[in-house]
Chain A
Amino acid sequence: MRDEDICQFVLDLCRNEGATDASVMVMENEEKMIRFSNNQITVIKDLDETSASIFVQIKERKVGINVYDLSRRKLKAAVKRAVETAAKSQPGDIYAPLPKGPFKYDDRLMNQREILLDSEELVGSVQEAVDAALKEGGKRIAGSLIGRNVQVTIMTSGDVFARTKKSTLELSVRAFVNEHASGHSLSIASKPEDFDPKSAGAEAGTLAKLSSNPVQGTPGKFTAILGPMVFADLANQIGRFASAFYVDAGISFLGDKIGEKIASEVVSISDDPSAAGTYGAFPFDAEGLPTKRTPILEKGVLKNYLHNSTTAKKFNTESTANAGLIVPHPFNLIVEPCNSSVEKMINSIDDGLYLTNNWYLRYQNYKTGDFSTIPRDAMFLIRKGEIERAVRELRISDNILRILKNVKELSRERKWVKWWEVDVPTLTPAVLVEQVNFTKSTN
């Protein structure tokens, strides 16, 4: 069956079985990944998958099913099970019908040009990144390159029918000079002409070389420049915990703070899947609503949570088109820039640190936002307006709301970040934060 036939078949079955609302999303995924380490390819992977996500509501009762066998027999059995389970389930507290379409979607977001997932070409890109990193002084180069073509077809009981194609390229490259000196960089793009493995490799190699011979860092409170890879991780935390689901569950540090100034007024973060041509752009959410820009933080004030229809009804507001049928989520985070630069920030600091990457962020308490994370790769000590030397083995142990309040400057230049540690594509500048608390091991 064609994808739209699968959708129609399932939707008809859901209606016949007694669902009040139903949606079907069929995803075709073609993916090639190359992983490399020690300047060699460790594995090359090819995925060809088609799956369907079916969501059934009988008023307040909800059931979701993911199906990987798309034969009529299996689809029929899946729908029957979903509707029967929903009928017998205890009801939730909210019934919000799926949005009533049809909707018009932004043409610029639909049907991107497919990327040719050619092994020779992609291996060539990896070679280019590795060579550039070696040339700049890296000794061991590792990373991954992912090329992906996805087709998504959605049909809902709200008269939504849409199909879109999306293609992406994603390179993460880490260069080592030795076990304590490394640099990490990225290139992510939604079209080949924006993809730049050479520059990513060169930056990783340069950072690795600059971070050679690091000394043990000193704990304490310092002014810190958080490079784009670091602030993207924090912006992801804002995006994730802006989901009304987590707010409602009582596990978000953003809970009960709408309208409050929770960050410095230079901080503005939005989710914008409607930003055409960017990595995380997408035309519709999982309920079929056309996506749009949603301010989360505007000049430091918490403006919106991210909603689907159900959470919106519970919070007495409108959906922000961020479904997730159960958990609303950000698609594409954008941090607004200011007029500074990393160079200006360094010049303004008497005694501080410059972090280029971090890893392993864990919370003490989701509700308060107490957390720690580990700077990794190139980290530099700044003294009297200049980089003095590389340092290592420190940890940020702080509170995310406190960090947001202590942001003083943002650079004009921004970078797109998405990699193993940062799930949601994020466009962010480098950020200067005062009084960041750093700790270290005590033996």
Chain B
Amino acid sequence: MIDFEDYLKMIIDLASEKGASYAEARFQEDAFESTLLKNGIPEVTSFDTKRGISIRVIVDGALGFGATNRMNKNDIRNLVAKVVSSAKEASRMRESKIRFEEGATGKERFEIKPRIKFESVSTESRIELLREADTAAIEAARSIGINLPGRYISLDTAITTKIIITSDGADVRSSIPRVSIDSILTAFDPQKGYAQRTISLGESSGWEAVERWDLPVRLRNESTSLGQTLLNAESFESGRYDVVLGPEVVGIVSHESAGHPAEADRILGRESAQAGETYLTKESVGIKVGSEVINVVDDPTIPHSFGYYLYDDEGVRARRRYLIKNGRIHEFLHNRETAHEFGTESNASSRSVSYDREPIVRMSNTFVEPGEYSFEELIEGISNGIYIKNFMEWNIDDRRYNQKYVGLEAYKIENGTLAKRIRNPVIEITTPSLWSAVDAVGKDLEFSAATCGKGDPMQGIPVWTGGPHLRLRGIFVGGSA
């Protein structure tokens, strides 16, 4: 590690000598192991150790970024010269000068120590676990009389090591293990056709997370539920209903309809041509976008969360951010550049997925804060409603205003109790209408893992999405085939 630190210091010195008013150097190594089981057959095991150095500079008010995995002094010197020169050239097309907010950066080391190290679990054991889960899913499906012709299960472990230093004093080192499982189950019945369930689990933990997940039991339950949905879900009449959303649905809503709109770089238009903009503006803090019971937070500091970190990739200490508080826009997600533009402090939202990607404004773990209601209390007051436990298709426009969520496991609620399963309920609604319809918040809290896509080139970054059950009054639910 000593060599890399020397390189990082050399980068800062060289960039400063060449005229950079700000310089940042990062070493990052991501060591992955991936195992894939397709329809019960081991497809491939892959190892990927991605490591290299990045540099970011401000020169004449323009931002330059560069990266290389060629770890020798000459190549690194050449890269620094190139990045500074490119930024100088880019400054020709800058009317306003980019500056970083001068908030507190840290000198810190943080890590998660796995209780069970990944290297102690052999590839054979990993495949065996996936096979056991695959068998459990098939048997569960068979027991209710359906087939599972498509079964795709991948298991990924990763250890991310970073050293970040900046010309204004940040020095942050971290080591985070992450593990995730992604699965797609496709159920088939000759009369009913196909139904499909996507499952994502992820934590910043060692192998102990996998043991806790108990994958065979989880896939058996998912398979059973999927089969029952395929066999028994009935069509229903479109119309206005009181609706209870499960934590998985609330999670994706929190991410898409509260998290993305609050990204300050979108507000400034930096993602206009790619991931899009937002319906919010610089002046939106304080505006009402939902009912008073809604509080949406983004919090990277939750121990073992998939989006965990204590310092961001600009060396700023992380904290919980309230995006929506009591139904009003409370705070945006900022890096040091957007914070300066907004006249505020960075709240440590700057993340990069690998050494060769620039750090940009990202979410971490975005969720609705729990309230006071039990699930039973949420549904007991509903005479004719719908409970959507989980979802399949979703999307949202690039201003984060019009969204669609299609439920998978869903039920009618009749006179305060769950009734028959229903097929493919569709919610297509605007963001303020969705948040404003909530009148009660459950006291439970569950998270799902996800990989959030943003940036150019695309950066898929680990996050949690989550929340409690929510009750929404009188929203339109469409039925699809």
Residues of A within 8 A of B (CB): 32-51, 61-69, 78, 81-82, 85-86, 88-93, 119-120, 123, 126-127, 130, 140, 142-144, 172-174, 176, 179, 184, 245, 248-251, 325-326, 359-368, 370-374, 376, 393, 395, 397, 420, 439-443
CB distance from A149 to the nearest CB of B (A): 14
Verify A359–B42 contact, CB threshold 8 A. Answer: no
The answer to whether A41 and B90 touch (CB under 8 A), given A250-B186, A364-B424, A443-B430, is yes
The answer to whether A40 and B95 touch (CB under 8 A), given A33-B456, A45-B65, A174-B272, is yes
Grouping DSSP codes into helix (H, G, I), strand (E, B) and loop, the A interface class, with mixed when no group exceeds half, is strand
CB distance from B474 to the nearest CB of A (A): 10
The answer to whether A123 and B433 touch (CB under 8 A), given A69-B71, A89-B124, is no
The answer to whether A89 and B45 touch (CB under 8 A), given A66-B50, A123-B93, A368-B193, is yes
Contact of B93 among A36, A68, A173, A363 (CB under 8 A): A36
Residues of B within 8 A of A (CB): 36, 38-39, 41-52, 62-71, 75, 78-79, 82-83, 85-87, 89-90, 92-96, 122-124, 127-128, 131, 149-152, 184, 186, 193-196, 268-277, 356, 358, 392-399, 401-404, 406, 424, 426, 428-430, 433, 456-458, 476, 478, 480-481
Verify B404–A372 contact, CB threshold 8 A. Answer: yes
Verify B66–A420 contact, CB threshold 8 A. Answer: no
Verify A250–B150 contact, CB threshold 8 A. Answer: yes
Closest partner residue, chain B, to A394 (CB atom): B402
**5 nearest A-B residue pairs (beta carbon):** A250-B150, A142-B272, A119-B89, A364-B393, A442-B476
Contacts of A325 in B (CB 8 A): 44
Query: How distant is the Cα of A397 from the Cα of B62 in the complex, in angstroms?
Result: 42
Verify A62–B393 contact, CB threshold 8 A. Answer: no
Contacts of A373 in B (CB 8 A): 395
Query: How distant is the Cα of A365 from the Cα of B276 in the complex, in angstroms?
Result: 25
The answer to whether A48 and B90 touch (CB under 8 A), given A65-B48, A248-B39, is no
The answer to whether A397 and B46 touch (CB under 8 A), given A42-B270, A89-B127, A442-B429, is no
Verify B86–A44 contact, CB threshold 8 A. Answer: yes
Verify B397–A38 contact, CB threshold 8 A. Answer: no
Query: How distant is the Cα of A326 from the Cα of B44 in the complex, in angstroms?
Result: 7
7 A-B contacts (beta carbon < 8 Å): A39-B93, A65-B48, A66-B49, A69-B51, A249-B184, A393-B402, A395-B397
Contacts of B39 in A (CB 8 A): 248-250
Verify A37–B273 contact, CB threshold 8 A. Answer: yes
Query: How distant is the Cα of A45 from the Cα of B79 in the complex, in angstroms?
Result: 11
Verify A374–B397 contact, CB threshold 8 A. Answer: yes
Which of B62, B150, B277 has the largest count of A CB atoms less than 10 A from its CB? B150
CB distance from B119 to the nearest CB of A (A): 11
Query: How distant is the Cα of A383 from the Cα of B158 in the complex, in angstroms?
Result: 55
Query: How distant is the Cα of A275 from the Cα of B478 in the complex, in angstroms?
Result: 46
Query: How distant is the Cα of A140 from the Cα of B49 in the complex, in angstroms?
Result: 40
Query: How distant is the Cα of A18 from the Cα of B268 in the complex, in angstroms?
Result: 56
Query: How distant is the Cα of A126 from the Cα of B128 in the complex, in angstroms?
Result: 53
The answer to whether A251 and B428 touch (CB under 8 A), given A35-B456, A92-B41, A142-B269, is no
Query: How distant is the Cα of A366 from the Cα of B43 in the complex, in angstroms?
Result: 20
**Supplied contacts A172-B274, A393-B397, 5 more A-B pairs, CB within 8 Å:** A66-B50, A91-B42, A119-B86, A368-B193, A441-B428
CB distance from B229 to the nearest CB of A (A): 12
CB distance from A119 to the nearest CB of B (A): 4
Verify A420–B458 contact, CB threshold 8 A. Answer: yes
Verify A251–B90 contact, CB threshold 8 A. Answer: no
Contacts of B42 in A (CB 8 A): 61, 89-92
Verify B270–A37 contact, CB threshold 8 A. Answer: yes
Contacts of B123 in A (CB 8 A): 85, 88-89
CB distance from B298 to the nearest CB of A (A): 21
Closest partner residue, chain A, to B238 (CB atom): A442
Contacts of B356 in A (CB 8 A): 47, 49
Verify B44–A45 contact, CB threshold 8 A. Answer: no
Verify B86–A443 contact, CB threshold 8 A. Answer: no
Contact of B69 among A33, A35, A49, A143 (CB under 8 A): A49
Verify A420–B456 contact, CB threshold 8 A. Answer: yes
Closest partner residue, chain B, to A368 (CB atom): B194
Query: How distant is the Cα of A119 from the Cα of B83 in the complex, in angstroms?
Result: 10
Query: How distant is the Cα of A433 from the Cα of B401 in the complex, in angstroms?
Result: 27
Contacts of B149 in A (CB 8 A): 250
Contacts of B399 in A (CB 8 A): 179
Contacts of A90 in B (CB 8 A): 42, 124, 127-128, 131
Contacts of B404 in A (CB 8 A): 372, 395, 397, 439
